Amino acid sequence: MLFSELGLQAAMLDAVAELGYKEPTPIQASAIPQILEGRDVIGSAQTGTGKTAAFALPILSTLGSHAAGPRCLVLEPTRELAVQTFENFEKFAKFTDLRIGLIYGGVGYGKQRDDLKRGMDVIVATPGRLLDHLGEGAVRLDGVKFLVLDEADRMLDMGFLPDVRRIVLKCGKDRQSSLFSATIPPAIETLITWAMRDPITIEIGARRSVADTVKHVLYPVAELQKPTLLISLLEKVEWESAIVFCRTRRDADTVDALLRRNNHKASVIHSDRSQKDREQALEGFKSGKYEVLVATDIAARGLDIADVSHVINYNVPEHPEDYVHRIGRTGRAMSSGDALTLFCAGEAAQVASIERYIGKKVQRVKLPEFPYTYTALFDEDKLGPATGRKTQGARVGKGYFFGPARRR
């Protein structure tokens, strides 16, 4: 199927052609016609399947040209994700006169007020800052014809659903709503019943599944050896770029310092960093200035970076859902990727929860020639040196390397 077969306006087709999109992903091919027909849509798909284009393209195509007042509102859980979505909307709207506005916290109000006064056709916002502007009377939402609740389960996790409900009540009643979420827990089902009208559900892959393009491996290790194993992995596993996830801000800062001491160009992103620092870290990682990005789960949903070859879980996430969202940073848009998880005995229960959640047993391996300290985890499974792969630099399976030192 081609984008030209989906019913999009010429301006959208010009935009996707310039961006190099060849053909729609499954979520795009399924959602775009439904949104163009005026249906409320629930999209359940893994991160990295192209869902932003799945709602942005048909909405922009329907809006057509600039008019007074915001007609589309997209709510995002994090500042990073709001910025990424805003940037995508701007790219898709390049050949139109539609105005796209960005509303999020952590920065000044002035420019946002000015943009709202000028008139925005589309507003991409985080809930808290948007409520501030609504409280000041800087914006009205009663003219909104398209409402998108993106990463709804993450908004639930972050406690934003009461704010989301307050915002939805201020939107036009004669609106078309779309909700996108990697998982659909009961609280989101309740929100769907309340906010949407006869929605059609588009489910790409099992709700708890992980992308087939990602290779998963677990590395049992004594807790005190995690830092050494991380550095050894980066020397023995061939990779191009990596995101290292940590559970706490303190761990993230510690790992960032560890990587820098070992001559890795690294940067860190977490909630204690200023918005400017976070944006610089993301841009530096995208441009190649940094080869490793260290992050806490605050960034797991908000990163839209192409060609991340490896995700490394330095700490096992507390919630299984966060594992799915972390590893969604690699293996995107049908590219292959690798998810490596270091875990100690104290994290065995979380690993078991993840395996139950995704419905599969993840392979345990040892890094060849690493001087392991004994841990009881080694007795639970018969561990092999990466299933016997030779360290000759050959690519095995879906992108997994146990070869020579990485390329620089």
pLDDT value at residue 399: 34
Tell me if 167 is assigned to some domain. Answer: yes
To 10 degrees, what angle do helices 226-236 and 249-261 make? 50
Which residue, of 172, 204, 236, is where some domain finishes?
204
pLDDT tens-digit series, residues 103-159: 999 888 999 999 999 999 999 999 999 999 999 999 999 999 999 999 898 888 788
In a shared domain, residues 169 and 95:
yes
How far apart are the C-alpha atoms of 98 and 63, rounded to whole Å?
8
Say how far apart CA 60 and CA 313 lie, in whole Å.
37
Q: SS3 sequence, the chain? A: CCHHHCCCCHHHHHHHHHCCCCCCCHHHHHHHHHHHCCCCEEEEECCCCCHHHHHHHHHHHHHCCCCCCCCEEEECCCHHHHHHHHHHHHHHCCCCCCCEEEECCCCCCHHHHHHHHHCCCEEEECHHHHHHHHHCCCCCCCCCCEEEEECHHHHHHCCCHHHHHHHHHHCCCCCEEEEEECCCCHHHHHHHHHHCCCCEEEEECCCCCCCCCEEEEEEECCHHHHHHHHHHHHHHCCCCCEEEECCCHHHHHHHHHHHHHCCCCEEEECCCCCHHHHHHHHHHHHHCCCCEEEECHHHCCCCCCCCCCEEEECCCCCCHHHHHHHHCCCCHHHCCEEEEEEECHHHHHHHHHHHHHHCCCCEEECCCCCCCCCCCHHHHCCCECCCCCCCCCCCECCCECCCCCCCC
pLDDT tens-digit readout, 202-227: 987 655 556 667 888 999 999 999 99
Mean pLDDT of 6-16: 96
Give me the residues paired with residue 149 across strands: 75, 179
**Residue 63 domain flag:** yes
Clarify whether residues 220 and 340 are in a common domain.
Answer: yes
Query: Structurally, how many domains does the chain consist of?
Result: 2
- 133 and 111, same domain (yes or no): yes
Mean pLDDT check: name the lowest of 195-209, 230-244, 311-325: 195-209
In this model, does residue 335 exceed pLDDT 80? Answer: no
Residue 165 belongs to a domain: yes
Which pLDDT score, from 0 to 100, does residue 405 have? 37
CA atoms within 13 A on the CB side of 103: 27
| pLDDT value of position 279 | 83
Q: Is residue 398 part of a domain?
A: no
Q: Are residues 232 and 335 in the same domain?
A: yes
The answer to whether residue 407 sits within a structural domain is no
Same domain, 54 and 113: yes
pLDDT digits (tens, 9 = 90+) for 19-64: 998 899 899 999 999 999 999 999 987 666 788 999 999 999 999 9
* Mean pLDDT score, 165-176: 94
| Domain termination site, one of 204, 233, 266 | 204
189 and 41 belong to one structural domain: yes
Domain boundary, last residue among 204, 237, 252: 204
pLDDT of 262 above 80? yes
Q: Where does the pLDDT of residue 200 fall: very low under 50, low under 70, confident under 90, or very high at 90 and above?
A: very high
Q: Give the model's confidence band at 251: pLDDT under 50 very low, under 70 low, under 90 confident, else very high.
A: very high
Please state the separation of Cα 193 from the chain's center in Å. Answer: 25
Shared domain check, 273 and 200: no
What's the chain's average pLDDT?
86
Least confident of 33-37, 101-105, 302-306, 309-313: 302-306
Domain of residue 358, CATH code? 3.40.50.300
Phi and psi (nearest 5°) for 288? 95, 0
Whether the CB-CB separation of 297 and 247 falls below 8 Å is answered with yes
Same domain, 170 and 279: no
Residues 61 and 187 in one domain: yes
Q: Which of 143-157, 257-271, 291-305, 346-360 has the lowest mean pLDDT?
A: 291-305
Residues 281 and 159 in one domain: no
Radius of gyration of the chain (CA): 22
Q: Which domain holds residue 220?
A: 214-380
What per-residue confidence (pLDDT) applies to 400? 33
Higher-confidence residue: 196 or 50? 196
In DSSP terms, which residues pair with 337 in a beta bridge? Answer: 214
Q: Rounded to an integer, what distance in angstroms lies between the CA atom of residue 181 and that of residue 138?
A: 29
Query: Residue 333: pLDDT above 70?
Result: no
Distance of CA 378 to the CA centre of its chain: 33
Nearest to 129 by CA among 275, 24, 260, 266: 275
Nearest C-alpha neighbor of 98 from the set 143, 68, 140, 142: 68
- Distance between CA atoms of residues 77 and 230, nearest Å: 30
Measured CA to CA, the distance from residue 357 to residue 351 in angstroms comes to 10
Residue at token pair 């805003």: 86
Q: Tell me if 401 is assigned to some domain.
A: no
- Give a yes or no: residue 223 inside a domain: yes
Tokens linked to 307: 């060609």
404, pLDDT greater than 50: no
Domain identity same for 197 and 255 = no
Structural domain includes residue 209: no
Cβ–Cβ contacts within 10 Å for residue 66, how many? Answer: 14
Q: Are residues 170 and 46 in the same domain?
A: yes
